[in-house]
Amino acid sequence: MKQPYILYDKLVLSPGDIDLNQCPIHVKTGIETFILGAFNPGMTRLPNGNLLLMVRIAEAVKEPIKEGRFRFIRWAPGNTYEIEEHPTYQLDTSDPRKFRFLEHEHIRVFGLTSFSWLLPVELTPDGLNILKLHYDKIIEPTQSYQEYGIEDPRISRIGDDYFMTTCSVSSQRHSTTLYQSKDGLHYSLLGIIMDHQNKDMILFPQRINEKYYALTRPLGELYFTTGSDSTDLPGPSINLSESPNLFHWKPVESFLIRARQNSLISYKLGGGAPPLLTDRGWLCFFHGVGKFGTVGKYRTFYAFLDKDNPEKILKLNDKNPVLEANPSLTEHLSDLVYLTDVVFTTGAEILDNRIILASGELDLACRITHLDSRFIEEA
Ligand code: MAN
């Protein structure tokens, strides 16, 4: 579907832009790796007016299957990386992003086909051109709860500080971690703020009624059916949480957004970009997944929430996506494509008369889209 508000849409960064000789796993272990994807970037505006993308780089073993064993990367204390191996016949490898260990029947246990760390990339103020890849400021794991990597950063500027939420992956837990920066470029890890399997935690950029707010997306293994009188579908929802200090979070009692009948979201959904404050309230771009193959179809939708009470949804559009994967953008990268139908929006900024969206395209590249700001009044 053509989106009438799109003014500009392009890939700004793809795996070929990344210098493997500056990638930590290849450099520290000497093993042959490749860049599977440079995608799902957090975005913020730096004090000098440039945009900063915090890009998730997925580095993977070049020859993952050797002598009947699957090889994958794990971070180890001492800031190094080790290669783990597992017999391929004990794995389900149908999803190119992760493999399932078949010997565990009673719980679902996975490994990742790549290992993600974060690379700050500075762009021109309109986000359309790269100025600098900051290899000296790469964010790698430092804690055992990050032994399988750091994923999907979202940056919110609150007051004078930049706060970045990320998803930390490990055998211990799958948690949300918080980083802080004074200048948008140098980040320090503050620790875990949401426990097991709460991905896509996104901070509102200012306090509301003296409290911090965040979008969350708790993910369980088990759901209960919705009532026959409800149009909601069972499964995960985007929720709100509030906090006095960014560290202790109380879930707001009503859920915020969930999959519904007659929408394009039938499966999963989660927050996307940090909410933008507009004349119509908080504009939240989020992702919703429709059933399609093994991975699903990921698209970007939006909602407006009340400025003073974000529990109140003023408008929800889960039927007409703002963004869908755009195959013409990745045509020249066809040799590298390993997924289809995935766009995953992770950043939004307003500049003059446009909204700049930053998204991961096909878990492969960073996509920048300019939307005409008429979207805010009319959509
Ligand atoms: C999950 C997340 C994202 C990823 C999408 C699509 O929701 O892990 O990081 O982009 O899947 O693969």
Residuewise pLDDT in 10s, the chain (379 residues):
468 899 999 999 999 999 999 999 999 999 999 999 999 999 999 999 999 999 999 999 999 999 999 999 999 999 899 999 999 999 999 999 999 999 999 999 999 999 999 999 999 999 999 999 999 999 999 999 999 999 999 999 999 999 999 999 999 999 999 999 999 999 999 999 999 888 899 999 999 999 999 999 999 889 999 999 999 999 999 999 999 999 999 999 999 999 999 999 998 999 999 999 999 999 999 999 999 998 999 999 999 999 999 999 999 999 999 999 999 999 999 999 999 999 999 999 999 999 999 999 999 999 999 999 999 999 9
pTM surpassing 0.85? yes
Return all residues near 18 (Cβ < 8 A) that are at least 6 apart.
Answer: 35, 38, 57, 119, 133
Give the atom of ligand 1 at the shortest distance from the alpha carbon of 339: 12
Q: How far apart are CA 92 and CA 349, in angstroms?
A: 40
148 Cβ inside 6 Å of ligand 1: no
Q: Which of 344, 346, 364, 366 to mutate to test the pocket of ligand 1 (most atoms within 8 A of CB)?
A: 344
d(CA 298, CA 272): 11
Nearest atom, ligand 1, residue 151 CA: 9
Per-residue confidence (pLDDT) for residue 284, from 0 to 100: 98
- CA 152 – ligand 1 centroid, Å: 8
Ligand 1 pocket: which of 167, 294, 298, 340 to mutate (most atoms within 8 A of CB):
298
- Single out the residue of 9, 1, 3, 8 nearest to residue 378, CA to CA: 3
| Nearest alpha carbon, ligand 1 atom 9 | 152
DSSP tag of 275 = P
Cα–Cα distances (Å) from 9 to 5, 316, 335, in that order, read 11, 24, 21
Sign of dihedral through CA atoms 206, 211, 215, 216? positive
The amino acid that residue 239 corresponds to is: N
> Which strand (E) or helix (H) includes residue 76?
strand 69-76
Tokens 């699903």 belong to residue: 296
pLDDT confidence of residue 2: 60
Determine how many CB atoms are found less than 10 A away from the CB of residue 66: 12
pLDDT of residue 220: 85
Q: Rounded distance, CA 135 to CA 121, Å? A: 9
Q: How far is the CA of 315 from the centre of ligand 1 (A)?
A: 25
Decide whether any atom of ligand 1 lies within 6 Å of the 134 Cβ.
no
